[in-house]
Structure 1
Amino acid sequence: MSPTPQLRDPAVPEILDRGRMEITGRLVDASNATLFGTVALDGVELRCVYKPVRGERPLWDFPDGTLAGREVGAYLVSEVSGLHVVPPTVLRAEAPFGPGMVQAWVSSGDESALTEPSSDGFDGELDEETIRLAAETLVELCEPDTVPDGWLPVLRARDGAGDPVVLVHADHPRLRAMALFDVVVNNADRKGGHVIVAGDGGVYGVDHGLTLHADPKLRTVLWGWIGDDIGEEHTAQLKELRARLAGDFADVLGEHVTRREIAALRSRIDHLLAEPRFPGPEGYGPAIPWPAF
């Protein structure tokens, strides 16, 4: 096999879309079917996450069978805006369990155990804790007197024993970009475990099936910058995204979400450009997803 390409290599989406796929494991604690595997093309092999459409659990507020497409739509918005906070993601028509989302696997830890096949070709069952420990975290739940210097508080609460705890996250520029991305795509499920510091130093978000809804749905653990100016760089990125939505990109995105949802996306961007500050919760529902990790 040739050396694994860097995550940002333009060849990665093609490998994910056309490569020979082998399933090596699954995440049993996930709400929807989440499989791990490899894709290989022209001597290059990548590790990947595969979520078949047939494994999506029906939801009352998102149309059935649309979560895989929303994951791809979120990736496209991340790329076109220049925020680059989502790993390469494609909607693959041909895969072992039918059409579904295929995404490049990212982790900062030792991944060897995650894709080592057993004698029957399947790598058993992986739990959420195994995956979480494979990555350094930028979001923590800690005691009030142990908050890391410079970290931003989000929520004060009490744990199951009644002791005080604080939900905090790092004041990290890439995490800040992710928080803005979540506002733009109306992410209803930004858990702490969905934030990964990759081995290349990048910070990526995963699990974007609950995005791009037309109604306000923002639920996130990244509330630490409420009221802060989004800054010139992010303002320029929003302007670029808005301009592209006025052209052919709207048609590309329209393959995954509805016209109404694209119109709502434009409206969210326009609001951010008119008032370029990180918003707070709008009061339409819970501000933080549960569980938070």
Structure 2
Amino acid sequence: MSELALLAEGRMELLGMIRGSSNSALLVEVCHEDRSVWAVYKPREGERPLIDFAPGLHRREHAAYLLSEALGWGLVPPTVVREDGPFGVGSLQLFVQHDPLAHYFTLYDEVPESHDALRRIALFDVVANNADRKGGHVLHGVDGKVWGIDHGLCFAAGYKLRTVVWDFGGDPVPEDLLDAVAPLADAVPEQLAGLLTSPELLALQQRVRRLLERPVLPVDATGRRVPWPLL
């Protein structure tokens, strides 16, 4: 059974609460027969009401995973929507074993070989219109892989990009990354499209078309398009 199937079908057992999250984030163990994994469960009932995002951030978490898979980048851990969670419907994302002291800033400053992955995250956030890329939302897995998590505030129709990943601003988008996003200008995978409203879907495609017309990573001229806290 794949990790994705295990998340979708396994029995969930609560282990505890993950501190520091603005919305409820619970650590669970997901079991099926002789297999088990840890995962992060974010129930809709635990969401803090927001003015600019409708309830149901768990769908955006799942949409971010689907976008990452459509691009072939594997940046977002396997994520599903579960209707039968302990506190109702919510997202369930594979827990990544990672270095708890590492984050975007340490990776950028101390691990130069991570820059290609960080650049992909920068472009991913432009396409997804991520409004909350904190430094702690970039993980360094124990296997050396760089992951992006916490995508509940993505895919708004209006421009809301807020991120700490501005170090690549003004750089040309590498051709292979541009080739990966280009198909979205014409068609968005059905499962991903089904999680977005019509204005959100149109805006995603418009963002991709702008990148194709001017393949350069954006610069924050104001210095204000950063989330708070930074980590």
TM-score, normalised by the number of residues in structure 2? 0.93
The alpha carbon displacement at 1:135 in A equals 4.8
Code of the residue aligned with 1:227 in structure 2: it is G
Q: 1:27 corresponds to which residue?
A: 18
- Deviation of 1:102 after TM superposition, in Å, equals 0.2
Listed as ranges, the matches of 1:98-177 within 5 Å are 98-109=88-99, 134-140=100-106, 148=109, 172-177=115-120
Query: 8 Å contact 2:186–2:205 — kept in the other structure?
Result: no
Tell which structure's C-alpha radius of gyration is larger: 1
- The offset of 1:13, in angstroms, is 1.3
Deviation for aligned residue 1:233: 0.8
1:44–1:181 CA distance, 2 compared to 1 (3 A): same
Contact 2:185 2:206 in 1 (8 A): no
Whether the 8 Å CA contact 1:92–1:102 is kept in 2: the answer is yes
Q: Which residue of structure 2 aligns with residue 272 of structure 1?
A: 211
Q: Deviations over 1:54-92 (max 9, x none)?
A: 1100001111x2210011111111110112211001111
Match of 1:139, SS? helix
CA distance in 2, matches of 1:200, 1:138: 16
Matched, 1:201 2:150: no
CA shift for structure 1 position 101: 0.4
User: What does residue 200 of structure 2 align with?
Assistant: 261
Residue by residue over 1:208-228, the C-alpha shift from the partner in whole angstroms, topping out at 9 and shown as x without a partner, is: 000000001000000011111
SS of alignment partner, residue 237 of structure 1: helix
Moved >3 Å (runs of 4+) = 147-151, 240-244
CA distance in 2, matches of 1:235, 1:275: 11
Cα contact 2:114–2:146 (8 A) shared by 1? no
Confirm or deny that 1:67 pairs with 2:61.
no
- Gap change, CA 1:35 and 1:148, over 3 Å in 2: closer
TM-score, normalised on structure 1?
0.74
Contact 1:218 1:281 in 2 (8 A): no
In proportion to residue count, which structure has more helix? Answer: 2
Matched to 2:148, the amino acid is G
Shift of 1:15: 0.7
CA contact (8 A) 1:83 1:178 kept: no
- Decide whether the 8 Å contact of 1:77 with 1:241 is kept in 2: no
For structure 2, which runs of at least 5 residues remain unmatched after alignment?
A: none
Q: Deviations over 1:23-57 (max 9, x none)?
A: 10102321101000110123211110000001100
List per-residue Cα deviations over 1:75-120 (Å, max 9, x = no partner): 11111011221100111111111010000001224xxxxxxxxxxx
Q: Does 1:17 align with 2:17?
A: no
Residues 138-161 of structure 1: per-residue CA shift (max 9 Å, x gap): 314xxxxxx94797xxxxxxxxxx
Q: Is 1:290 matched up with 2:228?
A: yes
**1:78 counterpart = 2:44:** no
Deviates more, 1:48-57 or 1:193-202: 193-202
> Aligned with 1:94: secondary structure?
coil
Q: Distance in 2 between matches of 1:83 and 1:239?
A: 14
SS of the residue corresponding to residue 8 of structure 2 reads helix
d(CA) in 2 for partners of 1:282, 1:266: 24
Paired residue type of 1:221: V
User: Would the aligned equivalents of 1:74 and 1:185 in 2 still touch at CA under 8 Å?
Assistant: yes
Whether the aligned pair in 2 keeps the contact of 1:135 and 1:197 (CA below 8 Å) is no
Q: Please list every run of 5 or more consecutive structure 1 residues that lacks an aligned counterpart in the other structure.
A: 1-9, 110-133, 141-146, 152-169
